[in-house]
Amino acid sequence: MHVIDTVRNWVYAASVKGRFQIWHRWSGVVLQAVLFLTPWIVVAGHPAFQIDIEGRRLYALGGVFTPTDTILLVLMGLFTAFGLFLFTAIYGRLWCGYACPQTVFLEEWVRPIELWLEGERGVRMARDKGPWTFDKTWRKLAKWTAFLAISIVVSMSFVSWFAGARALWTGAAEGWYYWVTAFFTALMFWDLAWFREQFCNFLCPYARFQGVLCDDASLVVSYDAARGEPRGTEGACIDCKKCVAVCPQGIDIRTGFQLECISCARCVDACQIVMDKKGQPNLITYNTLSGEQRIVRPRTVAYTTLLTVIAVGFFTVLFTRPTVDGLVSRTPGSTYTVDADGYIRNTYLLRLTSHQNEARTWAVKIDGLPADAQVIVPPITLDGAATTTVPLVVRVPAAELTAQSVPMQVVVDSGNGTLSMKATFLSAGG
């Protein structure tokens, strides 16, 4: 019977240097630059990336997307999901090891700060076993203060993607954004200070799907048991356990592939140092379970085909979408009224969404009604991509109406694009 171990063994990952740690540093720098800088970068007059919940708009690299672009957003989501499936099928959990925010913050902040304030693995283990002295207390407090500061800055940057960086950092954003920031700060502090690798092992949905997304030709970190065993005697492994000491997941890769492994290659760098001294090739490397690297496989072909179809669909919709979307609807519950001057009046609501970045003034005219029909509509100016709803009143002399329902076209024109929408004009008829 499998018994779940409910006692957590705290992981004291030793520091390690090596070629893959340099890759960690670079991916960490680039990804954190994206997080911290994109809310402040302006492209074509808008944030480089912002999900404006109140304005119901998404800004992305100069493009502006509104709820009428839902199909584009769905295609973007599908592309991201299948892109990750393809990446995982080929490269296994490299995302976890180098690009997941959880790993990036632990590698770039938590471990360096712990090393600086609490010392190496052995020193930390010994101090944690000992009593709460002044030395232990101030080090812990300093560490947690640093983690709290990081949590605040990261949460503010994340919420800036929604509230806008300037508004949030100057205190001008809506109050609820600060509550959300406080919530994320608390969550992140708890994660950095205590939860850590348990997130990958128990909570992360992506980690749960690894078994389905990977196969024996996907990249994994593996130990060469044929050369290494029997360890400590005739095998090349000297059983120094450095690969175990550096592992942030607390596993021993020498016992075989394990789902907890996040492919971070800290053990690869650790063993490299040992094997370099022995003048032998590394025992722990990036490899595949089958030993051969086949990129072209049924699942990678299927994912690539799907990605191509989604990309073609996305760009077709993007480049053929109208510069303006609109909808004419009759004012709820209304049919027509007879004005004192003998005109029949119909009232509508006209909703317009501009996809253009420039401010435009829209003119409205009606086709399909008698020549002396009157159109009453307030001036419509959309300041860049936005949605507005205005009342639209149409009046026609009763004498000129011969049918109870006359089809008509509401035509809006910005001088750089027109949109024609169907509607009907109601009256008592002739």
DSSP-derived 3-state class of residue 252: coil
- Of 47 and 228, the one with the shorter C-beta distance to ligand SF4 is 228
- Distance (Å, whole) CA 9 – CA 19: 28
- Of 85 and 223, the one with the shorter C-beta distance to ligand SF4 is 223
Q: Does 271 bind ligand SF4 (CB under 6 A)?
A: yes
Whether 353 and 341 have beta carbons less than 8 Å apart is answered as no
Q: Which DSSP helix (H) or strand (E) runs through 122?
A: helix 121-129
Q: Which stretch binds ligand SF4 (CB under 6 A): 121-129, 182-190, 269-277, 413-421?
A: 269-277
> Under the phi-then-psi rule, with left for phi > 0, alpha for psi from -120 to 50, and beta for the rest, what region is 232?
left
- Of 192 and 247, the one with the shorter C-beta distance to ligand SF4 is 247
User: Using N-to-C axis directions, what is the helix angle for 134-163 and 175-190, rounded to 10°?
Assistant: 140
Judged by CB under 6 A, the residue of 106, 165, 217, 274 near ligand SF4 is: 274
Whether 199 and 186 have beta carbons less than 8 Å apart is answered as no
Judged by CB under 6 A, the residue of 31, 150, 219, 270 near ligand SF4 is: 270
> C-beta of 93: minimal distance to ligand SF4 in Å?
8
- Of 214 and 253, the one with the shorter C-beta distance to ligand SF4 is 253
DSSP-derived 3-state class of residue 239: coil
Range 196-225, binding ligand SF4 (CB under 6 A): 221
> C-beta of 388: minimal distance to ligand SF4 in Å?
53
Q: How many residues touch ligand SF4 (CB under 6 A)? A: 27
> C-beta of 308: minimal distance to ligand SF4 in Å?
32
Binding mask 346-385 for ligand SF4 (x = CB under 6 A): ----------------------------------------
- Of 115 and 153, the one with the shorter C-beta distance to ligand SF4 is 115
- Of 264 and 350, the one with the shorter C-beta distance to ligand SF4 is 264
> C-beta of 311: minimal distance to ligand SF4 in Å?
32
> C-beta of 249: minimal distance to ligand SF4 in Å?
4
- Of 191 and 197, the one with the shorter C-beta distance to ligand SF4 is 197
DSSP state string for 182-228 = HHHHHHHHHIIIIITHHIIIII-HHHHTHHHH--TTSEEEEE-HHHH
DSSP state of 400: G
Query: Within 10 A of 153 (CB to CB), how many other CB atoms are there?
Result: 14
For the CA atoms of 195, 199, 201, 206, the dihedral, rounded to the nearest 10 degrees, stands at -170
C-alpha closest to that of 410 among 385, 426, 392: 392
- Of 266 and 360, the one with the shorter C-beta distance to ligand SF4 is 266
Whether 102 and 206 have beta carbons less than 8 Å apart is answered as no
Half-sphere exposure at residue 216, Cβ-oriented, CA atoms within 13 angstroms: 4
Q: Verify cis geometry, omega within 30 degrees of 0, for the bond prior to 230.
A: yes
> C-beta of 258: minimal distance to ligand SF4 in Å?
7
Q: Where are the alpha helices (DSSP H) in 1-120?
A: 19-37, 70-91, 94, 101-105, 111-118
- Of 69 and 269, the one with the shorter C-beta distance to ligand SF4 is 269
- Of 189 and 286, the one with the shorter C-beta distance to ligand SF4 is 286
How is the beta sheet containing 380-383 ordered, strand by strand?
380-383, 359-367, 405-413, 418-426
Residues 253, 121, 133, CA angle at the centre, nearest 5°? 145
Binding mask 229-268 for ligand SF4 (x = CB under 6 A): --------xxxxxxx--xx-x-x-xx------xxxxxxx-
> C-beta of 151: minimal distance to ligand SF4 in Å?
24
> C-beta of 101: minimal distance to ligand SF4 in Å?
17
- Of 68 and 218, the one with the shorter C-beta distance to ligand SF4 is 218
Range 275-304, binding ligand SF4 (CB under 6 A): 283-284
> C-beta of 214: minimal distance to ligand SF4 in Å?
14
> C-beta of 226: minimal distance to ligand SF4 in Å?
13
Q: Are strands 418-426 and 386-397 parallel, antiparallel or unpaired?
A: unpaired
> C-beta of 230: minimal distance to ligand SF4 in Å?
11
DSSP-derived 3-state class of residue 114: helix
Phi, psi for residue 93 in degrees, rounded to 5: -100, 35
Using CB under 6 A as the criterion, which residues of the chain lie in contact with ligand SF4 when the complex forms?
A: 221, 228, 237-243, 246-247, 249, 251, 253-254, 261-267, 270-271, 274, 283-284
